[in-house]
Structure 1
């Protein structure tokens, strides 16, 4: 008789009823609460694939032998299975050795938090709590997704980026009031499938339908037509990637010189416009930022730029939206800053449905109303080590211990990292210039990884602890909208895998901090404690949650929206607009900072006191384009979350002959003798990768599109002579900070070329399953 089970499981892309038989997933049904469930749930069918799951603790053979040059073999060595006691003894002794010899600042605690939507089995919280209990670690700040914007927006608006994105404008207000929306980078809808806490109800489809019915005019400025949903019937304007700031400056110039700028709004709510105007008019640098100037940079006709400016001027409630992709590029701070300035010149900031939308088309921004209290969480504690690095500077840190760099007005020094502990993420997916990262990864004495599958990060580790997945444990999922739901274990652990919590309990016991780490609680005791914290916080906000017993026994998502009192004017920007004297922003001036004296005082040459168009080292107008004439954009994939479950059928179905699919314009393909479905080599002087070609008129000429997330699968060489077989774009991207201010990733500043591939191409499945 088969052992069958069906439970609700929470993921970053929604809640699903998962059915298993003898541990195998045989059914995946979205929660009935979800009006537009994400198809990414189909990846769960392959969550137990034995070809990719790690079944027991593994140690790299060279590390286990203690070879004098064993670090150079990371990523190429075979692995040796060991017992849990052996692995935990080895891991704890390596941690203790580094602590005693170098101090806790020599430990880098890496995690990116997307491994689980649960509040307890949250890998980032788990690894950081453990490291804090043993004396601390070098941490990272900001995110690969929004680093440049996360640093610049507090200077300009006095709030963090998440607050600005959530409250500056809402989609329901856009539907009612906005008559013109100009979207720089488009309004991609597939990125709304996933949120940090997942979703109870994906409302993006309905919202976009309502926007279309309302007749809001949408203009998408992007190199890729599908960056806006087809039902919006958006006008598509193609501009050279990374030139959006020049276009916005030219629109601003037209507003200023035609006396269309809202001077009353500027005087009442902003500071520093006169200084910015000198730059705009060319008084400070002898370059007038008019439409002809911007046309020569962006490739958009000057008449179209002036038309956009006139449309914005005549609109009753205009809206400027900015995709987060624009700030993952050289000088990525500038488009977000300039969008705020342009909206201020239009006087539309604070109008319901107008102003500026930041992080637009990503992670549900503007779609959902958040609960008015804090969800409970697994506490990380305080890190005794004050050192941290910007998240995208990992390779620089490992390669340059003692080297100096700048960050947000500070002069900093890279620590000497001798142990990397990674849990809940895959840096060989999201970091840039993976050949450089591969070299850097060989520098520390020890690399420890908690991982459920043989990702590239696991393959580049010394000690691998097999972690179970969210199908194999109990948790509580507090959604990014108004839902809370249980996430129940529906399958037994794969092989000898354990939860991150159990792994860290084992290490804590050996290092003498078990009681401090676990507080004597098991999994369900922690889950219940986190729920009770949420219950108490909700009660203080006037919202009633069911008892934990009812919540867990019933097993359904709970929607709190009916209890939420949603005031459309109760947010920081509305209060500021209503009374800027009583409700000042948390900026030095208390106003929107068109010119920031604070940033100006840093003395950076690549981020001045006001928004600026900076020449890029990699864009279609650069000298480098003579050698690498195609601009590569590398967006998030539509059929998985980052690189998770890339081995699954749902992810593989959109690949071309087992490799990631690259989209290019037919004219670019014809010049190079490329046909649809052909195996191609994409290359520059940092590396090369293989991909399957797809030809489309929906991408502008001179641009190619290669999504992220294909598991890194390189040959044995580093640098220009290397070849990645699977289609991972980050072997091509540059590992360079956006600017001295934020040091964010610059993935979208990337020039390449492409050619038919005639050599031998190994089968991907064989490479990824070779041990």
Structure 2
């Protein structure tokens, strides 16, 4: 609970995607930040944020790229990322941005505007960048949008087709409590990384996920981690670790299914009543269609696991309540649709789907909320308005869109056309973090006529923009947080004043709305404080409907965090399907789980057939390319930050090695290359190259290296060596398949060598490169 320290020093509550904190403030500056003492297992990620507020990279005024200021809108021809910036006043920046928006709409129509944003910009219900920019652009008549997410695109699309929807799968997830009560066997393909349990969409009132996992283990649940990384599962779970080759999980699942079916241990009643296409898939599984039975002996050489270990795992599944879970990482790969589809199929075969503590775990361990009883309370959100444009792209196809306007592409069974985008407006999120093949993205990024961004810091997104608006951070704004799946509401009290010329995203867009004649529609006559009061009042009213009374906003700001009331639970979709398949149809053509999908088969996609199938990745350790690039790179969520957020903060930077992002490498691979612990190394392939700091450890499988995503992109020149360790200089920019078109970051081969000579300095944590005013 906040307390008064002195007339000028007090403690106030605040909240973020990585938890709740208490900030000590004098009203202008943050004097200290500590986790909320009520949080049983808080994350330290937020503790590094105050160090960024006055860091050299902080943006403290609007800036415009010099070439844009001199010549106006137009393709940049390589200048974005190379030009210096000119500091301008707010009137100039707003006028330039308003003119660019107005002219783009007049000359090319609203589909020529791409509204780039991502959901992780802030945990606040009002200061949510994605909601703010989408509301603004919808009031202007609409924009081209993206669909799905980089995290889960392939899973979202395939489950919509064969599993009743992504939401149905999440709602059917077993909880750790159920798993403990049933003493279940948990097969975690991709592991259950503890680092992921630090973060959650919309915030975390209390971190309890890891404690619930450990409780389940104490009750007798057993865990198996199928991952090349030792640390992809908490040591307290005493898990069996099977260090499979990356990208081979589908082959292992097929072999497990083969063993269950040939032993007669499959759930024939469930398969008959609740699924379609079993006979077609069974013929493939047993080798009747292609002459290749999917046995452990077949899967062993593919996966790098002993066939005996796979067979033994199948025996452990027989007659046992079992969970088959796949991490998000498995579907961010070539043919990423296959892993969740096959996991759902294996769960159906096993006899556990739809039963408490068993079945398909949709990305259990990928976020704090997954594996816990989900919140059913729906807090109020800023309305985004009516969409005026239907144009969209799959989220990971932005470089394709910019490079190939007007060209056709396949997505989810449809033939679509890339829109001709002339203006990109990005608020929240950083494409130079989450997009693949950054050298290709930089080339594509030169094509738009105008790029407008809101940013806190002079990161790569700001350094590749035309108009840069300086935005306040979550510690510099009032708000309240309530996650869509977290059962708490938390106050966010402004703990620091932003620099004098820094504004909130809402204030920036309100200024633009005034320039464009839509101010009244955008603000609805409310100040920011009144909007927050309005949304919180709606949230309180919803609680009242449920028979509970939330504190007033003023009271919440004193309390910090309170629990939300919960509507009565509904029967999980897969449980309802098991109970009565005809009465509880899923949202699929058959109303059942589609092990074989006639619709998908009818699309005729060679990279996504009609049932779960082992398809060799383009890049994996069994590919011909492994001769030249013999190491498989995996690039998951980092330990010390959320994505790329606040990489310039003290907590993230304390984890650097030789001032760069650490890369984990097995001792055998390091010795073969003359690499020692702590050395600067160069990772490279045909797409790009970057430097990193070596961490030599046997906690990763030989032949595999791990470089976390999110290090701020810091190229030595356009298309040049990234000196800081951004993994996406190396990852491929190709769709998972023509079905989902999701990202394939985890199908990536590289080589590593010790860096010779003095490595170039990291400069991205410094200020925006500037030039004097134009004449």
> Cα RMSD between the aligned structures?
1.6
Given that residues 713 and 767 in structure 1 are in contact (C-alpha distance below 8 angstroms), is that contact kept between their aligned partners in structure 2?
A: no
1:169 equivalent in alignment to 2:174: yes
Aligned residue for 2:747, secondary structure, equals coil
Q: 1:32 & 1:676 partners in 2: Cα distance?
A: 37
Q: TM-score, normalised by structure 1?
A: 0.96
Shift of 1:71: 4.3
Given that residues 270 and 593 in structure 1 are in contact (C-alpha distance below 8 angstroms), is that contact kept between their aligned partners in structure 2?
A: yes
1:372-771 residue pairs with structure 2 within 5 A?
372-479=376-483, 480-552=485-557, 554-560=558-564, 563-564=565-566, 567=569, 570-718=571-719, 722-765=720-763, 768-769=766-767, 771=769
Q: 2:104 & 2:267 partners in 1: Cα distance?
A: 60
**Alpha carbons of structure 1 residues 448 and 565: separation in structure 2 relative to 1, 3 Å:** closer
Q: State the Cα deviation string for residues 467-517 of structure 1 (Å, max 9, x = none).
A: 111111111111342111221111112230001111111111111111111
Given that residues 372 and 564 in structure 1 are in contact (C-alpha distance below 8 angstroms), is that contact kept between their aligned partners in structure 2?
A: yes
Deviates more, 1:582-591 or 1:428-437: 582-591
- Corresponding residue for residue 109 of structure 1: 115
Deviates more, 1:201-210 or 1:748-757: 201-210
Q: State the Cα deviation string for residues 571-590 of structure 1 (Å, max 9, x = none).
A: 22222222212112121111
**Alpha carbons of structure 1 residues 767 and 540: separation in structure 2 relative to 1, 3 Å:** closer
Q: TM-score, normalised by structure 2?
A: 0.96
1:279 equivalent in alignment to 2:280: no
Given that residues 546 and 566 in structure 2 are in contact (C-alpha distance below 8 angstroms), is that contact kept between their aligned partners in structure 1?
A: no
Q: 1:204 & 1:697 partners in 2: Cα distance?
A: 27
Shift of 1:448: 0.2
Given that residues 126 and 501 in structure 1 are in contact (C-alpha distance below 8 angstroms), is that contact kept between their aligned partners in structure 2?
A: yes
1:172-251 residue pairs with structure 2 within 5 A?
172-251=177-256
**Alpha carbons of structure 1 residues 28 and 166: separation in structure 2 relative to 1, 3 Å:** farther
**Alpha carbons of structure 1 residues 499 and 609: separation in structure 2 relative to 1, 3 Å:** same
**Alpha carbons of structure 1 residues 370 and 234: separation in structure 2 relative to 1, 3 Å:** closer
Shift of 1:370: 3.3
Shift of 1:157: 1.7
Shift of 1:131: 0.4
| Aligned counterpart for 2:90 among listed residues 84, 96, 113 | 84
Given that residues 736 and 745 in structure 1 are in contact (C-alpha distance below 8 angstroms), is that contact kept between their aligned partners in structure 2?
A: yes
Q: State the Cα deviation string for residues 240-283 of structure 1 (Å, max 9, x = none).
A: 10000001111111112222211112112111100101111222
Q: 1:20 & 1:59 partners in 2: Cα distance?
A: 33
Q: 1:14 & 1:301 partners in 2: Cα distance?
A: 41
| Aligned counterpart for 1:255 among listed residues 233, 256, 260 | 260
Q: 2:255 & 2:373 partners in 1: Cα distance?
A: 35
**Alpha carbons of structure 1 residues 550 and 20: separation in structure 2 relative to 1, 3 Å:** closer
**Alpha carbons of structure 1 residues 196 and 118: separation in structure 2 relative to 1, 3 Å:** same
Shift of 1:2: 9.5
- Corresponding residue for residue 141 of structure 1: 147
Shift of 1:555: 4.2
Q: 2:334 & 2:76 partners in 1: Cα distance?
A: 36
1:65-76 residue pairs with structure 2 within 5 A?
65-66=70-71, 70-76=76-82
Deviates more, 1:286-295 or 1:601-610: 286-295
Aligned residue for 1:600, secondary structure, equals helix
Q: 1:628 & 1:729 partners in 2: Cα distance?
A: 15
1:370 equivalent in alignment to 2:374: yes
1:4-15 residue pairs with structure 2 within 5 A?
4-15=9-20
- Corresponding residue for residue 361 of structure 1: 365
1:302 equivalent in alignment to 2:307: yes
Aligned residue for 2:705, secondary structure, equals strand
Deviates more, 1:370-379 or 1:614-623: 370-379
Q: 1:51 & 1:551 partners in 2: Cα distance?
A: 35
- Corresponding residue for residue 37 of structure 2: 32
- Structure 1: state its 5+ residue gaps: none
Given that residues 57 and 765 in structure 2 are in contact (C-alpha distance below 8 angstroms), is that contact kept between their aligned partners in structure 1?
A: no
Given that residues 76 and 448 in structure 2 are in contact (C-alpha distance below 8 angstroms), is that contact kept between their aligned partners in structure 1?
A: no
User: How many residue pairs get matched?
Assistant: 762
Q: 1:601 & 1:493 partners in 2: Cα distance?
A: 56
Shift of 1:763: 2.1
Q: 1:753 & 1:537 partners in 2: Cα distance?
A: 55
Q: 1:372 & 1:229 partners in 2: Cα distance?
A: 28
Shift of 1:369: 2.9
**Alpha carbons of structure 1 residues 761 and 647: separation in structure 2 relative to 1, 3 Å:** same
